[in-house]
Structure 1
Amino acid sequence: MEMIGFAFLLLGLVSPISVASRIQASSELLDFEALNCRKHSAVLTQFGGKGDGKTSNTNAFQSAISQLSKVASDGGAQLIVPPGRWLTGSFNLTSHFTLYIHKDAVILASQDESEWPLIKPLPSYGRGRDDSGARFISLISGTNLTDVVITGGNGTIDGQGAIWWQKFKNKQLQNTRPYLIEIMFSTQVQISNLTLLNSPSWNVHPVYCSDVIIQGLTIRAPVDSPNTDGINPDSCSNVRIQDCDVVSGDDCIAVKSGWDEYGIAFGMPTQQLIIRRFTCVSPYSAAIALGSEMSGGIRDVRAEDITAVTTESAVRIKTAVGRGAYVKDIYVKGVTMHTMKYVFWMTGNYGEHPDNGYDPKALPVIENINYRDMTAENVTIAGHLEGINGDPFTGICVSNVTIGMSSVKSKKGPWNCTDVSGVSSKVSPQPCSLLPEKQPGTIVPCAYPEDKLPIDNVQLKTCSAIV
């Protein structure tokens, strides 16, 4: 037996034998799906954790993960958060590691700023998102990881964000608010089967990552809470988001890739993204937003089986002069909407900039945008499509779409289009003249790829945890 395994056996923390073989009569054996199962397992209480909702567990989490990182090369480890209310500041994960949150466990984010270290702005943003200063590190974070899983039996992470929202609204912050989960520069990432509540800002932010699976998340924040985006894949490749339900104060999914000159210089697109079986409620934002920070490019996004209820818009493209790069090869089908301000919304006039250093000649390319098989009811504006003068949005296709308009009429009519071009087929009400009908009397479907993205070939394994 290796010395490290022997040391963990003495402490009663980790065993080199399988999780299932260690079960005792008083134990609870839980099965769950993960990218990989782990050879070693421990429970937070074994590191001094106290689930009373009052005692800080920051040191317990940090100590547990530090110790368990030592067996990363020996089959990896999982840390079980058992039933209880576990108050904590931020902590960093490690590779070949699973954080499992029991269905009766609640991780409570500390409201003490001293438990949230400051970190540098993201290189593709050049500054903090809330302010030009640094960023508070996220509650659960990790950098340069391989094979990391955050999952549970629908266990809860509560960001207790009200104090942060108030500081933001009162302009009392000099640094960007923390997120609930942020994984950076990593590969083989899974975030699944959790309930996320009251994030100080964005909920889930994989950035500069590849091979990411996000599924089975329930995300809740008050609809007037500032910038509580649900899921924000940012400069990521090969991503699968499915079976998630979001109610938030901002975009339910925001696809990003860096901001103006910083994103252009960093040059890492978000690409090969699939979104399916997704539900959103967000009265002031979009079900799926592309941008506005898209200066590394966004391409090959596939969204299907989407439901938006009482949401400002379905799929929104947000860009501006100075963003550069592109949003292209976007495919959306099977969207059901109830009570919307907009169905289709694109703008080239989303003018937020990190500073005055952006290049006014950096014009974004928006092309090959496809929407099909959509129904909506109680809609105020069917489409507001606003390209950029001298830089029109091209290749827009809309087919088999039926929109029931509300009794509230827009003064400009159901469609308002400038600096765009494309085609439509069987769309009601009839689109603007810049989207003429293709082959009247015949449905000509807009494109949707038939091939599979590599992330769809990834199969999760059935693993076990003992509490």
Structure 2
Amino acid sequence: METYSLVDFGARGDGKFDNTEVFAAAFAALKEGDRLNIGKGTYRSGPITLSGRNITLVFEKGAGIQFIADEDLYTPVFSRWEGVNCYCMHPCFLITESDGIHIKGDGILDGNGLWWWEKAKQVKSDPKRGPVSTMEKILAAHNPGYESQSGGGGGRHSQFLRPPLLQILKSNNIQLDGLTLTNSPFWTLHPLYSTNIILRNLHVLNPKDAPNTDGIDIDSCRFVTVKECVVDVGDDGIALKSGSGPDGISVNLPTTDVLIESCTVKNAHGGAVIGSETAAGLHDITVKDCLFDGTDRGIRIKTRRGRGGVITDLVFSRLRMRANLCPLTMNMYYRCGSLDPEDFSLLEKPVVPTTPRIAHVLIEDCIAEASTSSAAFIAGLPESPIQDVEIRNCRFSIAQDGLMPTEESEMYEGLPSVQERGIRARNVELRLLNVEVEGDMTAVLKEVGVTIIE
């Protein structure tokens, strides 16, 4: 077992020198049990890949990696992008086919995201824009049939498949502790097809207006712990996924056995989020003792026809939610990325392999204060009602001022508008035990297909 320093390989932490080859040489030298220290400084780099067994990286205080914003450097890798397996740009930092990687310390991974965000906004403003840049054309050639693939709206049509900041791919026993991840081009931290992951004391920070910059996306993984992390980002905070549509169903790798504990999420579109890529299913998820402060939604479950998957055995306990649009949403009419208006029909459709299902959800001992759109939004499908939802010992309150339209409660399509701000329920079996709703005369708005057990 050896201990190295990054400077042993010629690194310069002046924020100017390109250390891409330095990281490649250092990582290639590491053997099982070795340790690499990264000293104070800003190490500018292109994309880097770490693969190995029982390796430790230690960032000293003041140490950081800043990734170069040049899409031509991020040569295609086969991965998953917004729920679909395809070629996409190489992650800024990729941990792949590894076992026993531990990265710790006060280090910063900076994705240098501004250039990426500006281009993403330009691409999104023109829905008819196809591949234009050299990299986009390369990815289009690698991904035949991409035009018919659904996505969350991040860039599928143009093949501007920008990189996540840190991806953990097909790995086991990975631990991240103490890092700050910021300015991500796309999703920030993306464990994918991996097991036994511990994420502790991380700070994940992106501007609120940075598009598609989810904080932590746990994707077709098993046995994951997220503890004492702070997430403040421009999309969903801590999200759990398992692939989208037929592609996710064929891969058939669910996300299971996840614990999210003692975390704080601010400003994001959702605090603890399930979906919307749900094809292989998600089950045995526990979220407890967290604060969702100023997030658009707190507990957020989102899927729709075409996404598929069984979502079951979820527990949300002792959460505090403050100044949300809507603290609790279960939305099977999620609008983003659909290519078919029939996904949002109010009529009962045949149950097919891509019909999602939600069942066995417990929400207990939670407090939601000063919600500005509504107390809760729960909407199942006529052919797939949400089953066995229990809300107990919870209090929801509506804000006295600064109210927003009820349509802002969730990103849905096809449902009628309502004025009531209480718990909106549609196509759901719902048990309410000691639940208070303050600030609206209609505590529970009971629509079609609802069974309420009080």
Q: Distance in 2 between matches of 1:313 and 1:352?
A: 16
Q: Distance in 1 between matches of 2:19 and 2:292?
A: 38
Mapped pair 1:86 → 2:43 = yes
Please list the CA deviations of residues 255-280 of structure 1 after superposition, one character each: whole Å capped at 9, or x if unmatched: 00011100000000000000000101
Please list the CA deviations of residues 158-201 of structure 1 after superposition, one character each: whole Å capped at 9, or x if unmatched: 11101000111111763311111101111101112111111111
Q: Distance in 2 between matches of 1:241 and 1:123?
A: 22
Q: Distance in 2 between matches of 1:420 and 1:320?
A: 15
What's the CA shift for 1:58?
0.4
Aligned to 1:119: 77
Aligned to 1:373: 365
Flag structure 2 segments of 5+ consecutive residues without an equivalent. Answer: 124-131, 133-157, 344-349, 407-418, 438-442
What's the CA shift for 1:431?
3.5
Match for 2:58 among 100, 103, 118?
Answer: 100
Aligned to 1:344: 328
Match for 1:387 among 374, 380, 400?
Answer: 380
Aligned to 1:400: 393
Match for 2:26 among 57, 61, 64?
Answer: 64
Q: Note if contact 1:125-1:354 (Cα within 8 Å) is conserved in structure 2.
A: no
Q: Distance in 2 between matches of 1:127 and 1:175?
A: 15
Flag structure 1 segments of 5+ consecutive residues without an equivalent. Answer: 1-38, 129-133, 439-467
Q: Distance in 2 between matches of 1:221 and 1:41?
A: 33
What's the CA shift for 1:350?
1.8
Aligned to 2:233: 248
Within-5 A mapping of 1:438-453: 438=454
What's the CA shift for 1:233?
0.7
Q: Distance in 1 between matches of 2:262 and 2:16?
A: 37
SS at match of 1:164: helix
Change (3 A) 1:125 1:355: farther
Mapped pair 1:212 → 2:197 = yes
SS at match of 1:169: helix
What's the CA shift for 1:315?
1.0
Aligned to 2:110: 158
SS at match of 1:66: helix
SS at match of 1:324: coil
What's the CA shift for 1:138?
0.9
Change (3 A) 1:192 1:354: farther
Match for 1:431 among 433, 436, 444?
Answer: 444
Q: Distance in 1 between matches of 2:337 and 2:20?
A: 36
Within-5 A mapping of 1:299-314: 299-314=283-298
Q: Note if contact 1:126-1:354 (Cα within 8 Å) is conserved in structure 2.
A: no
Aligned to 1:51: 13
Aligned to 2:305: 321
Aligned to 1:147: 100
SS at match of 1:294: coil
Task: Name the amino acid aligned to 1:200.
Answer: P
Q: Distance in 2 between matches of 1:187 and 1:401?
A: 37
Change (3 A) 1:354 1:185: farther
Aligned to 1:40: 2
Change (3 A) 1:289 1:146: same
Please report the TM-score for the alignment, with normalisation by the length of structure 1.
Answer: 0.79
Q: Note if contact 1:290-1:317 (Cα within 8 Å) is conserved in structure 2.
A: yes
Aligned to 1:450: none
Aligned to 2:263: 278
Aligned to 1:170: 122
What's the CA shift for 1:346?
1.1
Mapped pair 1:414 → 2:422 = yes
The aligned length equals: 387
Change (3 A) 1:396 1:67: same
Mapped pair 1:225 → 2:225 = no
Match for 1:237 among 212, 222, 225?
Answer: 222
Please list the CA deviations of residues 195-233 of structure 1 after superposition, one character each: whole Å capped at 9, or x if unmatched: 111111111111000111001101111111111111111
Change (3 A) 1:254 1:124: closer
What's the CA shift for 1:100?
1.6
Percent identity, aligned pairs only? 29
Q: Distance in 2 between matches of 1:330 and 1:54?
A: 47
Q: Distance in 2 between matches of 1:413 and 1:355?
A: 30
Q: Distance in 2 between matches of 1:162 and 1:346?
A: 32
What's the CA shift for 1:155?
1.3
Aligned to 2:317: 333
Q: Distance in 1 between matches of 2:41 and 2:291?
A: 34
Task: Name the amino acid aligned to 2:111.
Answer: G
SS at match of 1:232: strand
Please list the CA deviations of residues 67-109 of structure 1 after superposition, one character each: whole Å capped at 9, or x if unmatched: 11xx22xxx2121110011001111112221222111112111
Task: Name the amino acid aligned to 2:28.
Answer: S
Q: Distance in 1 between matches of 2:338 and 2:223?
A: 28
Change (3 A) 1:424 1:260: same
SS at match of 1:178: coil
What's the CA shift for 1:127?
5.2
Within-5 A mapping of 1:121-140: 121-122=79-80, 125-126=83-84, 134-140=87-93
Aligned to 1:266: 251
Q: Distance in 2 between matches of 1:336 and 1:198?
A: 27
Q: Select the structure of larger CA radius of gyration.
A: 1
SS at match of 1:293: coil
Task: Name the amino acid aligned to 1:91.
Answer: I
| Greater relative contact order (Cα < 8 A, sep 6+) | 1
What's the CA shift for 1:40?
1.5
